[in-house]
Structure 1
Amino acid sequence: MQAPPLTPSSDVPAPSVANGAADDGPGPIRRCIATGETLEREAMIRYVVGPDGTLVPDLKAILPGRGFWTCARRDAIERAVTRKIFAKAAARAGHEGPLTVPDGLADRIEAMLARRCMDILGLARRAGEVTAGFDKIESQSRKGPPGLLLGASDGAADGKRKLRSISAAAMHSEILTSAELSLALGRENVIHAAFKPGRLAEQFLGEARRLAGFRLLVAANGPELPRAGAQAE
């Protein structure tokens, strides 16, 4: 479950990043430099400082150098930018000199995460691990439950309810738009898709959960939709 958005009150001190959970120490837990929350690495974004002194989001957490982390949420990143927490964390990580933070950092990370979701979806298409189209998904589900149901975030509410009715047990995600689903799957007007159970479905869900921290999933004329990873009702 995602933490509630941060309040912008100026009397909340920036958390220290001296704790070992804040950087690249051993173990799966990291501390957010903006909020102080401790979460598993998979729910966070890692950063390093590039050779030119520019802050670099390291979504795969593989770039060399001592890194620091934020929650995978827009509000946490924007707080780190406005309060210059990135610069302080970079200095503690050993960077000397000014730090250049790219403009629109949260938007850039959102686009990068969306691209990762689309790349996984494209890989699943080439591997025959994903089905598109409601009728095909419904037919396939009779042979076994899907690993993950996908609905376009900008699709009609009735269509989303119809998709969820296919399997009460399947996880579902409504994080990508129809245009993004269509581009990833190489066809037009994709509204519904489904992964087969397996590694690619799990990888997509992990990235979708991070992307959900940047996208408010609200239907055009309806209530807030379940976030990525929510259990279908």
Structure 2
Amino acid sequence: MDEAGDSAPDEVLDAGPGRRAPTRTCIVTRVAQAPEGMIRFVRGPDCAVVPDLRGKLPGRGAWVSARRDAVAAAVKKNLFSRAFKGPAQAGPDLPDRIAAGLREDLRQAIALANKAGCVVAGFSKVEAAIGGAPGVAAVIHAAEASPDGRRKIVAALLRRHGDAISRIPIVDDLSEDELDMALGRDHVIHAALVAGAGTNGCLSRWRRLRSFEGAAAATEEPDPARTGRIG
């Protein structure tokens, strides 16, 4: 990745993964924030702007708030070229590429949680896990899940948690095919995370994807369109 001498001021570019400051400055908003709420970008040998979702790629990096609209603004205003003080090619598909990368991170996290025994799949098993001990840490629906199936899961959550249902995240950002791939089985429509190794990392990746897309996460009241409580 780019390590040329055309560097920007220290408050814009970092010095590489080995020298990380506690805060970085977004090249769009010019606001300093913790790296956890941002996305790092480096410039490749071909001058292409590469998202460094895990913050480990070599070379000097520019940072953008981890939101789709912020990345789109950086592309539209040619802010990567200004930050790197040289050619930096970032196409309009960059936000979509980042979203795809975050979805892949979430899929891999679910796969790891599954290997650790922290995922149950199938409507009956999910319903039983909700009512059993210790309960579920999150409910997972395929994006194609029917409103009827969602309503029944919500009913089980309400029986167990009552008004505290909003504490249970509803993860429905992945397709049936993506869940099938993550869990190594066919036709996964409903699943759930139970407490254990990998659960927190999985939810952290989910929240990052939701935040990037500007959507609600686990601390908000369930969205009727997502839970199936329509009408």
Is 1:36 equivalent to 2:30 in the alignment?
yes
Per the TM alignment, residue 113 of structure 1 is displaced from its structure 2 partner at its CA by 0.9
Q: What do the CA deviations read for 1:79-118 (whole angstroms, capped 9, x no partner)?
A: 1001001111122xxxxx4222255111111111111111
Could you list the runs of 5+ residues in structure 2 that have no partner in the other structure?
1-7, 223-231
Length-normalised TM-score, structure 2:
0.75
Classify the secondary structure of the residue corresponding to 2:198: helix
Specify the alignment match of 1:196 in structure 2. 194
Cross-structure match for 1:20: 11
- Structure whose alpha-carbon radius of gyration is higher: 2
Structure 2 match to 1:6? none
Which residue does the alignment assign to 1:137?
Answer: 126
**Share of identical aligned residues, percent?**
37
More helix by share: 2
Paired amino acid for 2:77? R
| CA separation of 1:163 and 1:45: change in aligned 2, threshold 3 A | farther
8 Å Cα contact 2:67-2:214 kept in structure 1: no
- Cα–Cα, structure 1 residues 232 and 174, in superposed 2: closer, same or farther, change >3 Å? farther
Structure 2 distance, partners of 1:57, 1:122, is: 23
Distance in 2 separating the partners of 1:37 and 1:69? 10
Q: Specify every segment of 5 or more residues in structure 1 that has no aligned partner in the other structure, as ranges.
A: 1-16, 92-96, 218-226
Q: Does 1:125 align with 2:125?
A: no
In structure 2, the residue matched to 1:176 is 174
CA RMSD of aligned residues (A): 2.6
SS in 2 for 1:212: helix
Greater mean deviation of Cα atoms: 150-159 or 120-129: 150-159
Structure 1 residues 134 and 102, CA, compared in 2 at 3 Å: closer, same or farther? Answer: same
Deviation of 1:39 after TM superposition, in Å, equals 3.9
Equivalent runs, 1:83-232 vs 2, <5 Å = 83-91=77-85, 97-102=86-91, 104-141=93-130, 142-164=132-154, 165-166=156-157, 167=161, 168=165, 169-213=167-211, 215=213, 227-231=216-220
Question: What is aligned with 1:8?
Answer: none
TM-score with structure 1 length normalisation?
Answer: 0.74
Quick one: distance in 1 between partners of 2:93 and 2:56? Answer: 23
Q: How many residues align?
A: 202
